[in-house]
Amino acid sequence: MCGIVAYIGHRQAYPVIVKGLKRLEYRGYDSAGVALLNHGVKLYKKKGKVAALEETTLGKDLDGHIGIGHTRWATHGEPSDRNAHPHLSANGKLAMIHNGIIENYALLKQELIKKGYRFHSDTDTEVLLNFIEDIQENNGSTLEEALRIALKRVVGAYVIVLIDKDNPDTLIAARKGSPLVIGIGKGEHFLASDASPIVEYTKEVVYVNDYEIAIIKPDELILKNLGNERQTPFIQKLDLELAAIEKGGYDHFMLKEIFEQPSTIYDCLRGRLDVIQGTITMSGIRNNMDKIKNANRILIVACGTSWHAGLIAEYVIEELCRIPVEVEYASEFRYRNPIIHKGDMIIAISQSGETADTLVALENAKEQGAVILGVVNVVGSSIARLSHAGAYTHAGPEIGVASTKAFTAQLTVLTMVALMIAKERNTITRDRYLHLLNELNEVPEKVKKALEAAEHIQKLALKYKDVSDALYLGRGYNFPVALEGALKLKEISYIHAEGYPAAEMKHGPIALVDESLPVVFVATRDTYHEKIISNIQEIKARKGKVIAVITEGDEIITAMADDVLPVPEADELIAPIISTIPLQLLSYYIGVAKGYDVDKPRNLAKSVTVE
Ligand code: F6R
C-alpha cells in the first residue's frame, strides 16, 4: 500500500521518479506527489493518479538530481491534494514520503501541538516528520541521529525517505514492516517499494531489513541499525525483465496476466515436476521434509485470494496427506491468541509477500515455535525471508490489482507440496500419485484451451453486465473457486456477489433467487456432480438465471443452464486451477463493459501493507 520511489545521482530525478510511480500505482492511486531538491525543496502533489500529477507539473521547474515521490493509498485523511505526500516539515527544510501507519501518531501530534506545531494535513506522516524535525532542532542532532531517536518511539510500520535542504547530496531512508529495495547504479541509487521502478537501470539491489536506516549518496550506501551499528549491505541480482512489467500489447495488465497463465503455470512446474521419473523436486520442501511430514497439524494463514487458495489446499492436503488442516484469515489469527503447538506447521500464502496481517501472524507463530513454510510470489519479500522453508510460485510480477495468475500458481505449488508430503507419508498409492503428476503436467495446455473461450465470455459479459447481484456456488474443491469468482466480480465490476457452498444456499441465500439473479455454478464433473445438478434444478425452479462452468461435453447441465462456460476435463483435485479461468475472464469483461479501470479498481491496493 502506497508506492514510494526516490532517486539520487547524475540523471534528472523527476522522470525517473514519475516513471517509477506509474509502475507502483497498483499499490495505491488516491494521490501522487514529488519533491525535488535543488536550491531548496520543490514540491508538487495532486489528488488522483500519477497522470494528474504530470498535468500539474507541466511547464514547472523540475530540475534536480535528487528527489522523492509517492503514490498514495489513503489511511489517515481523505484522498486530497493536502494529504498527498511528500510532506514538508514546519521549517520547510525536510520533505518526506511514507508507506505504512504510525499507530501512536495521535499522541505524538498532541505533544507537538503543545509545542506550537501546526499541521497542514490529516496524515500520520506529517506528524512523524515534524517529530523528527523537533528532535533535530531541540537536541541539535543531525538528521540521522534525530531519525534514530524518533524511530525508537514510533509504533507502527513504515518505510520513509527524507530529503534535507541542508544536505543536498543525501537521501535518508528507514524501514520497519513495509518493503524497501535500493538499486545500485554507477554513481546513482534508486529506492522503491519493489524492484519494478529500478529494473531498467540496474539489476543490483539491496533489500533493506526492518529497523535499518540507509544513508545514501550518489556513490555510497551506508546501512545502520537503530543502535547506530554499521550493517553490511547484501547485494543481490534481480531476476526480473522489463518486459514482465509492461502490458505487452494487452489493454490491461489483468488481461495480460490472465492470458499468461499457461506459461506461468508451466514455469511453476518447470524443473520441479518430472513425469517420466515420477518425481517432484522442490528443494525448500525436500530439505525440511522431516519437520513437514511429521507435522501434527497444518495451519494455513493468508488473506483474500490467497486465502481462497488456502481453502483449496486444505481439501487437497487432507485428502492426500491425511494431516488435519485449518485455514485462517491472517487478520483474525494474529489477534485471537491462537493455540500453536511445537509440532504445528504453518503454510503462509501470499502473492506480494508483504501483506501486513499475514506477516505479523507469522512472526507471532514463529515466536511460538511453529515451522513456517512460505508459498510466495515476490522473491526476497518479507514473508519469503521470514519463512523457514518455502517454494516460490514463479508467476512473475502481478500488476493488475485483482489477483489472477498468482492464484493459479499458488494452487499449482500447493498441489505439488501436498503430493511430495503424501508420498513421504505413504498416504497415496503409486498409481494415484503418477496420475496426478500427469494431470498437473497437462494443466498449462488445458488452461490454454479454457482461454479460447475469451470471445464467447466477452459477449456473455454484455448480457450480464447490468445485474446488481450475483451468487456463486460450488461444492468440494469447487466451493473455494466459487468464493474466488465472486471476489473477482466484486473487485472489478463493483457488482455485489457472494460465494457459497452450493448445498448451504438452502440455508438462506436461496431467498434471494428470482428471475433477475444470476447464479454462477462451478459444476465441473466430480464426485458431487449429481448433487450440484440437483442444486441447479432448485435454482431453475425458482426462475434464477444459471451460468455454469462445466466440463466440456456435459450435455445434462448444458440443457438446464441459461449459459455454460465449458472447460477441459481434469481430475477433481486439479480442476480448480482450470475452472477459475472463465470466472476471471467473466469478471474482467464485465468490468471493462461497465467502463471501469480494471487494473486499478476503486479503494483497492495490491499490496496491503497496513492492517
Ligand atoms: C484479490 C486480491 C487480494 C489479495 C490479498 C492478499 O484479487 O488480490 O485479495 O489476494 O490482499 O494479498 P497477498 O497474496 O499479496 O498476501
- Give the largest Cα separation in the chain, rounded: 80
Look up the pTM and report it. Answer: 0.84
Q: What is the mean pLDDT of residues 596-610?
A: 79
Instruction: Please tell me the residue having the least CA distance from ligand 1 atom 3.
Output: 304
491 lines ligand 1 (CB under 6 A): yes
240: cell is: 526480473
- Beta strands 297-302 and 325-329 are parallel
Task: Quickly list DSSP for 311-373.
Answer: HHHHHHHHHHH---EEEEEHHHHTTS-----TTEEEEEEESSS--HHHHHHHHHHHHTT-EEE
- Mutational pocket test of ligand 1: of 413, 608, 611, the residue with most ligand atoms within 8 Å of the beta carbon: 608
* 541 CB burial (10 A radius; 0-12, 13-18, 19+): exposed
pLDDT surpassing 80 at residue 606: no
Amino acid at 20: G
Range with the lowest mean pLDDT among 242-246, 338-342, 604-608?
604-608
- Interval between CA 358 and ligand 1 midpoint (Å): 11
| Angle at which helices 575-593 and 405-425 cross, to 10° | 170
- Give the model confidence (pLDDT) of 380-414 as tens digits: 888 999 999 999 999 988 999 999 999 999 999 99
Determine contact, residues 235/198, Cβ cutoff 8 Å.
Answer: no
pLDDT surpassing 90 at residue 245: no
Sign of the Cα torsion 339, 476, 479, 373 reads positive
Which of 392, 327, 333, 325 is closest to 365 using CA atoms? 333
Which of 44, 119, 45, 52 is closest to 89 using CA atoms? 119
> What local confidence, expressed as pLDDT, does residue 610 receive?
66
Three-state secondary structure call for residue 264: helix
Per-domain residue ranges for the chain?
A: 3-243, 250-441, 451-611
- Give the model confidence (pLDDT) of 132-152 as tens digits: 999 999 998 999 999 999 999
Determine contact, residues 245/378, Cβ cutoff 8 Å.
Answer: no
Identify whether 576 is preceded by a cis peptide bond (ω within 30 of 0): no
608 lines ligand 1 (CB under 6 A): yes
301 lines ligand 1 (CB under 6 A): no
Which of 267, 260, 323 is closest to 294 using CA atoms? 323
Ligand 1 atom nearest to CA at 488: 7
CATH superfamily of 250-441: Glucose-6-phosphate isomerase like protein; domain 1 (3.40.50.10490)
Residues with Cβ < 8 Å from 457, sequence gap 6 or more? 565, 582, 585, 586, 589
- Mutational pocket test of ligand 1: of 178, 257, 303, the residue with most ligand atoms within 8 Å of the beta carbon: 303
- Interval between CA 387 and ligand 1 midpoint (Å): 18
314: cell is: 486444505
- According to CATH, what is the number of the domain 3-243? 3.60.20.10
| In 165-245, beta strands by DSSP E | 171-176, 181-184, 189-192, 204-207, 212-217, 220-225, 230-231, 235-237
Which of 53, 58, 44 is closest to 24 using CA atoms? 53
Instruction: Please tell me the residue having the least CA distance from ligand 1 atom 16.
Output: 350
Three-state secondary structure call for residue 268: helix
Ligand 1 atom nearest to CA at 305: 10
- Mutational pocket test of ligand 1: of 253, 254, 257, 305, the residue with most ligand atoms within 8 Å of the beta carbon: 305
Q: What is the mean pLDDT of residues 552-575?
A: 97
- Which are the catalytic amino acids? 2, 606
Range with the lowest mean pLDDT among 246-255, 335-344, 497-506, 598-607?
598-607
* 244 CB burial (10 A radius; 0-12, 13-18, 19+): middle
Instruction: Give CB contacts under 8 A, 24+ apart, made by 450-458.
Output: 450/567, 450/568, 450/578, 450/581, 450/582, 451/258, 451/259, 451/261, 451/262, 451/581, 451/585, 453/565, 453/566, 453/582, 453/585, 454/585, 456/565, 457/565, 457/582, 457/585, 457/586, 457/589, 458/585, 458/589
350 lines ligand 1 (CB under 6 A): yes
Amino acid at 86: P
- Interval between CA 66 and ligand 1 midpoint (Å): 33
Most confident of 89-98, 230-239, 371-380, 384-393: 89-98
Sign of the Cα torsion 110, 112, 116, 119 reads negative
Residues with Cβ < 8 Å from 98, sequence gap 6 or more? 2, 4, 70, 85, 87, 123, 124, 125, 128, 158, 159, 160
- Interval between CA 284 and ligand 1 midpoint (Å): 23
Backbone phi, psi, residue 364, to 5°: -65, -45
Amino acid at 56: T
> What local confidence, expressed as pLDDT, does residue 398 receive?
92
**CA triple 25-30-31, angle to 5 deg:** 85
Task: Quickly list DSSP for 43-81.
Answer: EEEEES-HHHHHHHHTTS----SEEEEEEE--SSS-SST
Ligand 1 atom nearest to CA at 304: 9
Please, which pLDDT band fits residue 560 given cuts at 50, 70 and 90?
Answer: very high
* Per-chain mean pLDDT for the chain: 94
402 lines ligand 1 (CB under 6 A): yes
* 43 CB burial (10 A radius; 0-12, 13-18, 19+): middle
Cα separation, 426 vs 271, whole angstroms: 24
- Give the model confidence (pLDDT) of 260-296 as tens digits: 999 999 999 999 999 999 999 999 899 889 888 999 9
Q: Which CATH number fits domain 451-611: 3.30.450.40, 3.40.50.10070, 1.10.620.20, 3.40.50.10490?
A: 3.40.50.10490
Ligand 1 atom nearest to CA at 404: 7
Buried b / exposed e along 168-178 (16+ C-beta atoms within 10 A): bebbbbbbbbb
- Beta strands 545-551 and 518-522 are parallel
306 lines ligand 1 (CB under 6 A): yes
352 lines ligand 1 (CB under 6 A): yes
476: cell is: 468440494
Ligand 1 atom nearest to CA at 607: 15
539 lines ligand 1 (CB under 6 A): no
Check if 3-243 and 250-441 are the same fold: no
Beta bridge partners of 188: none
Residues with Cβ < 8 Å from 337, sequence gap 6 or more? none
- Give the model confidence (pLDDT) of 295-338 as tens digits: 999 999 999 999 999 999 999 999 999 999 999 999 999 888 88
Please, which pLDDT band fits residue 244 given cuts at 50, 70 and 90?
Answer: confident
389 lines ligand 1 (CB under 6 A): no
Cα separation, 503 vs 510, whole angstroms: 10
- Please give the order of strands across the beta sheet that includes 325-329: 325-329, 297-302, 344-350, 371-376, 389-392
- Interval between CA 439 and ligand 1 midpoint (Å): 27
**CA triple 439-445-451, angle to 5 deg:** 125
Using only the alpha carbons of the chain, give its radius of gyration: 25
Cβ atoms within 10 Å, residue 58: 7
> What local confidence, expressed as pLDDT, does residue 611 receive?
66
> What local confidence, expressed as pLDDT, does residue 609 receive?
67
- Beta strands 181-184 and 204-207 are antiparallel
